[in-house]
Amino acid sequence: MRVSFKTSYNHDIRLFADGYQASRYAALVVLAVGLPFVLDDFLIGEVTGVLIWAIAGMGLMLLTGHAGQVSLGHAAFLAVGCYAHAILMDRFGLPFLASFALAGVLTGIVGVLIAIPVFRLHGIYLAIATLALSMLVEDIIVLAEPWTGGVIGLTAPTITIGGIDMDRFGSPDRFYWLCLAVVLLITLGYRNILRAPLGRAFVAIRDSEVSAQAMGVRLAWTKAAAFGLSCLITGWAGALLGHFFYTFNHEVFTVVVSIQLLLMIVIGGIGSIHGAFYGALVVGMIPQAINIGRDWITQVIGTGGVAIPGLETGVFGLILVLFILFEPQGVHGRITKWRIYFELFPFYRRDLFRRQRSYLKTERIR
Amino acid sequence: MSLLDVRDVTIRFGGVTALANVSFSVEPGEIFAIVGPNGAGKSTLFNLISRFCEPEAGEVRLDGASILDRRPADMASLGIARTFQNIDLFETSTVLQNLLIGRHTRRRASFASQAVFSPAARREEIAHREAVERVIDFLDLHASREQRIAGLPYGTRKVVEVGRALAMEPRIVLLDEPASGLSTEESRDMQFWISDIRAELGITILMVEHDMGLVSAVSDRVLVLAEGRVIALGTPAEVQSHPEVLHAFLGIDREPEA
Amino acid sequence: MEDLQLMVGGLANGCVYGLIALGFVLIYKATEQVNFAQGDMMMLGAFIAIGLGNESHGGLPFWLACVGAVVIMAAFGMAMERTLLRPLFGQSQIAVVILTIAFGFVLRFIAGAIWGHDPLVMDHPIAGTHVTFGPVVLSADEIAVIAVTVLLTGLLYLFFSRTKLGIAMQAASQNQLAAYYMGIPVKRIHGLTWMLAGATAAAAGILFAAKGSVDPSAGLLGIKAFAAAVIGGFGSLPGALLGGLIIGLVEPFAARYVAAGYAQIAPYAVLILVLIFRPHGLFAQVSGKKL
C-alpha cells in the first residue's frame, strides 16, 4: 500500500496524487501516441472511433455523471456539432480549426438555449424531454434538406491544418493523432473544471439541490453551465464523428445512439472521467468480440456464419443488465475495487464497498 | 437596528396554518433559540428565512432590507447560512469537498481560468482551502477530512453540516436542531461549539432546538412557538416559568380550568 | 368526413399509445419505478398472440391465443420484477431506467431471433371488416380497439380507487417505509404490479397487432407512449389515456394539415410544449419536497 504524505495544499489540488500516478498516465499517453507505429490502418481506425466515442462520453459524463442531469438525447447534440462543422467548412469556407472550435461553441449555445426551458425538469421528466429532443432533431435533419442534404446526407470535407493533410482515409495515423490531441485537451479541461468551484457546484446540485441552493449555488445558472459545457464537448465529438464516418445522414444520430451513449457511460462507470473511456472501449470492442465469437462458433459447429441482426445491441443490452445488477459502478468501479483489494491485501473486507440502500419516498404527494 | 426582523408573518399550507402573525427580531451577536412542540412551525420559519417557502402575509428584513424578493441561492451571499433538520450533505463527496462548497459564493476565478486552472485559480483554491482548514481546526474534523460523507457516523455528519455553514463565513447561521440525535457527550460538544461560534467567530446564531438544557445553557433569548403562534419570548429563565409555556409543553396549568 | 375517419384512426392509434402509457403509469404509481421496456413488452405480447393464434404458427383459436398472451405476459412481468427489479430495490430511479432500457434491447433481440425481422400480421375474426355510418366508413378493428381500451382503463381506474389492493399499491410507492409499518407487503405488491403491467402490455400488443403488422422494432413505439404518459402527468391513469389520445390525434392531423414530414415531429413538439408550460404534465401530481 502506497502512502503519499501531503506537505502543502497544492498536494490536494494538483492533477496527480504522486509521481507514481503521474508516470503511469504519462506512460499511457506515450503508448497512445506510439500506437500508429504498431497497428495497421484498420485497427487505428477502430481506435480512433473509440477516442471519438470517449469524447462524446465525456460530454455526457459531465452532464449526467457529475451534474446529475440525465440526458437521453445527446445524439441530437452530436448531430448539431457534426452538421454545423460540415456546413461551416463547406458553405462558409472556414479552415478546419476555426470551424471545429466554432461548431463546438455553437452546440454549447444550443445546449444552453435548450437548458433554459427544461432546467426546471427533474430526473425522469428531463430524461423524456431530452429523448423527445433527440427524436425531433432526427426529423429536423430530414426536413432541413437544403442545409443538411436530407436523407442523402453530407460528405465530410477534407482536413488540412497548416498545409498538412489529416484526412480519415488519406492519412489515418494523422487523423488519429488529431483526435488524440482533442481527447487530451478536453480531458485536461474537464479535470480542471472538476477541481475548481464550478465542478464542485455540479456535484452539489447532483447530490442535493436544496442544500446546494442554501450554499449559494444558483440552480438555473449551474444547470445551464453544465448543459453548455456538456454540449460543447459533445459538439466536438460530433464534428470529429462526421470526419470519421466520411458520409453521414440523420440515421447516424438516431435516438438509439442517444440511448447507447448513456448506456455506454453507465457501463464505464458513472461519475468519473475514466468511465467515459472504459465505456467507449467496451462499446468499441463489442463488434470485434462478436465477430471473433461468430468465427469461433462457425469453426466449432461448422455451419456458415450467419449475421444475426440486432445481435450487437442485444449483447450490449445484456452486458448492461449484468452491470446494473452486479456492478452498478461500472468498469471503473470494478477496477478500483480490484486495485484496492490488492493494495490492502490481506485486509480487504467484503463490506468495504457495501451499497447503501434507502427507502424511497415519493416526489408526488397526494 | 436588528439584524433580522420578522414581522407579522403568516404561512398556510392548504387549510393548515403553519405560522400565524409571528413577529420577532434577532440582534447582532445574539444566540436566539426557537422552541416549541412538533408541528409548531419552527422549520417552516427557517424555510421562510432561507427563502424555500413564501409567506401569505408579513415581512422579513435583513439589515432593514426586505429579503422576500430574494431566492434561496441569494441568501448565502447575503450572509445567511443554514443547516437542515435531517442533515442534507453532499453524500458522495468528502468532508473537505463539502466544506469547500461553503466557499462557493466567494469564488472569483472566471470560467476560462477555471478551465485552464490558471495560477490565479490555483491561488484562490489554496486560499479557500486555508479558510476551510480553519473551520476543520475549529470543529476538530481533522480525522474525517478525507472521508466520504456516506460512511460517516451521524454525530460527525451533524458537525460537518455546521462546518459547511461556517465555511461560508456568514453573518448569521440558522441551526435546525443541531443536537437532535446526538449522544450526551456529542451534545455537550455541540453546546460549546455554539457558544464558541459566537464568541470566536462573531456569528449571530438562530437555532431551533428541543433540548431545553442546551437552549438554556447557550441562548440569550428564547422564542416559544405553539401551533404557529408566538406564546412567549424572553430569556430562558423567563420563558421557562411562563404559564402558557408550561401549559403547552407540560400540560401544567397554574389556575384550574373550568 | 375525411376528418372523422382521420379522427377514428388517430383515436385507435392513441388507444394503443394510451394502453402502453397505462403500463408505465401503473408501475410508476405503485413502485415509483419507470419501466422503459414497456413498449418492448407490448411488442412481445403481440408476437406471443401471433405465435399462439396464427395458422402458420400455433393455430390456437383467436380468443384462446389472446388469453394465453395475457397470461404469459403477466407471468413474464412478474418474473422480470423478481429477477431484475427486486435486486435494485431501494436504489436510484435512474438505475431502473437504465436497466429497463437495456432489457428492452435484449427483448428486441430475442423477439428478432424467434420470430424474425419481417413484419407479421395477426389473424383475427374482424380483420378487414368495416362499419358504415351513413357516408362514413370506419374499420371494425379500429372501433374494437377504442372500445376495449375504454373498458380496460375503466377497470384499472376502479381497481386503483376502490379496491383495498389498489389503494395499498399506491401507498406502497408514496412512502415505502411507512407502508411497511402499516403492514403492506411492499415487495409482493411490486410483483403484482409488474404482473398487471405485463398483462396490460399484452392487451396493448394484441390491439396493436389487430390494426397492422408487428416487427421487433415495434417496441420503439414505447417512446411515443412515454411521451403520452408524461403529457398526461405520469402518475394519473386517465391522464395517460388522454395523453395517448392527444398524440394519436396530433399525428394524422399534422400530416394532413401541415405536411407529411411533420407527423413524426408533432407528438414530440407537443410533449416539449407541455413540459415547458406545465412541467409535470396536464394532471400534475407533484408537490414540494419537505426540507
B104 interaction partners in chain A (CB closer than 8 Å): 197, 200-201, 204, 215-217
**B47 reaches C (C-beta below 8 A):** yes
The residues, any chain, with a CB within 8 Å of residue C288's CB and separated by 6 or more, are B53
Mean pLDDT to the nearest integer, A270-274: 92
Give A214's contacts in chain B (Cβ within 8 Å).
50, 72, 75-76, 81-82, 84, 88
Average pLDDT over residues A43-69: 95
pLDDT at C236: 80
Q: How far apart are CA C202 and CA C206, in angstroms?
A: 6
Query: pTM (2 decimals)?
Result: 0.89
Domain boundaries, chain A: 21-254
- List, for residues C182-223, the tens digit of each pLDDT value: 777 778 888 999 999 999 999 999 999 988 889 988 888 888
Report yes or no: B52 and B43 within 8 Å, Cβ to Cβ.
no
DSSP 8-state assignment for residue A271: T
Distance CA A64, CA A45 (A): 28
Here the cell at position B169 is 463565513
Rounded Cα gap, residues C219 and C205, in angstroms: 10
B114, B122, B126, B166, best to mutate vs chain A, most A CBs in 10 Å = B114
Is B129 in contact with A218 (Cβ distance < 8 A)? Answer: no
How would residue A363 be classed by pLDDT, with cut points 50, 70 and 90? very low
Rounded-to-integer distance, Cα A236 and Cα A227, Å: 14
User: Of the ranges A138-147, A154-163, A233-242, A335-344, which one carries the lowest mean pLDDT score?
Assistant: A335-344
User: Helix A273-301 to helix A41-60 angle, to the nearest 10 degrees?
Assistant: 140
> How many C-beta atoms surround the C-beta of residue A335 within 10 A?
14
Asked if pLDDT for residue A121 goes beyond 90, the answer is: no
Per-residue pLDDT of chain B (258 residues; tens, 9 = 90+): 789 999 999 998 877 888 999 999 999 999 999 998 888 888 899 999 999 988 999 999 999 999 999 999 999 999 999 999 888 999 889 999 999 999 999 998 888 899 889 999 999 999 999 999 999 999 999 999 888 898 889 999 999 999 999 999 999 999 999 998 899 999 999 999 999 999 999 999 999 998 889 999 999 999 999 888 999 999 999 988 888 888 877 776 655 444
A21 pLDDT above the threshold of 90: no
Beta-bridge partner residues of B22 = B9
- Counted across chains B and C, CB pairs separated by less than 8 A come out at 7
Mind telling me how many Å the CA of A355 is from chain B's nearest CA?
Answer: 10
Q: Do A214 and B76 touch (CB under 8 A)?
A: yes
Contacts of A10 (CB under 8 A, 6+ apart): B122, B126
Taking the C-alpha atoms of residue B52 and residue B64, their distance in angstroms, rounded to an integer, is 20
What pLDDT shows up at residue C212? 83
- In this prediction, residue A361 carries a pLDDT of 44
Contact at CB, B114 and A208, closer than 8 angstroms: no
- Which pLDDT does position A178 carry in this prediction? 95
B204 has a chain C CB within 8 A of its CB: no
| CB < 8 Å to B49, chain C | none
Residue pair C22/C243 in contact by the 8 Å Cβ criterion: no
More confident residue, C281 or C105: C105
Q: What is the pLDDT of residues C140-193, one digit of tens each?
A: 888 889 999 989 888 888 888 888 888 887 777 666 667 777 777 778 888 999
Identify the contact set of chain B against chain A, taking CB-CB distances under 8 A. 50, 52, 71-77, 81-82, 84, 88-93, 96-97, 100-105, 107, 109, 111, 114-117, 121-122, 125-126, 129-130, 133, 150, 164, 168
**Shortest Cα distance from A243 to chain B (angstroms)?**
27
Find residues 254-313 of chain A whose CB sits inside 8 Å of chain C: 255, 259, 262-263, 266, 308-311, 313
Nearest CB to A123: which of C94, C176, C180? C94
Residue with cell 429536423: A140
Sign of the CA dihedral C104, C192, C244, C45?
A: positive
Q: What pLDDT sits at residue A312? A: 80
Q: Residue A353: pLDDT above 80? A: no
Task: Report the chain B residue with the minimal C-alpha distance to residue A351.
Answer: B151
> What pairing do the DSSP bridges indicate for beta strands B31-35 and B221-226?
parallel
Q: Is B249 on the interface with C (CB under 8 A)?
A: no
State whether B168 and A204 contact (CB < 8 Å): no
Nearest CA to CA, how far is C245 from chain A (Å)?
Answer: 18
Answer whether residue A123 shows pLDDT above 50. yes
User: What's the angle, vertex CA A312, arms to CA A308 and CA A314, rounded to 5?
Assistant: 90
pLDDT tens digit sequence for A176-191: 999 999 999 999 999 9
ipTM of the complex: 0.90
pLDDT of residue A366: 28
Which residues fall within 8 angstroms of residue A260, CB to CB, at 6 or more apart? A283, A313, A316
Higher pLDDT, A198 or C233: A198
On the question of pLDDT at A101 being above 80, the answer is yes
Q: Give the start-end residues of each E strand in chain C.
A: 120-121, 130-133, 136-139, 213-214
Asked if the model's pLDDT at residue A243 lies above 90, the reply is yes
- pLDDT in the model for residue C164: 84
The backbone region for A123, taken as left when phi is positive above 0, alpha when psi lies in -120 to 50, beta otherwise, is left
What pLDDT, on a 0 to 100 scale, did the predictor assign at position A272?
A: 92
CA-based nearest residue to B152, from B116, B118, B186:
B186
Closest chain B residue by Cα to residue A14: B122
- Strand partners of residue B205: B31, B173
Tally of residues, chain C: 291
> Which residue does chain B place closest to C287, by CA atoms?
B13
Q: Please write the tens of the pLDDT for every residue from C113-144.
A: 889 888 888 888 877 778 777 777 788 888 88
Residues of B in contact with A213 (CB under 8 A): 52, 71-73
Mutate to test the interface with A, among B53, B77, B117, B148 (most CBs of A within 10 A): B117
In this structure, of A4-13, A346-355, C83-92, C208-217, the range with the lowest mean pLDDT score is A346-355
Q: How confident is the model at residue A8 (pLDDT cuts 50, 70, 90)?
A: confident
Pairing of strands A247-248, A154-155: antiparallel
How far apart CA C213 and CA C116 sit, in angstroms, is: 13
C237 vs B70 pLDDT, higher one: B70
Contacts of C103 in chain A (CB under 8 A): 317, 321
> With bands split at pLDDT 50, 70 and 90, how would you rate the model's confidence at A309?
low
Please tell me what DSSP assigns to residue C287. Answer: -
Q: Which pLDDT tens digit goes with each residue over C28-77? A: 888 878 899 999 999 999 999 999 988 888 788 888 999 999 999 999 99
A neighbour chains, 3+ CB pairs within 8 Å: B, C
Extract the C-alpha cell encoding A272.
468519473
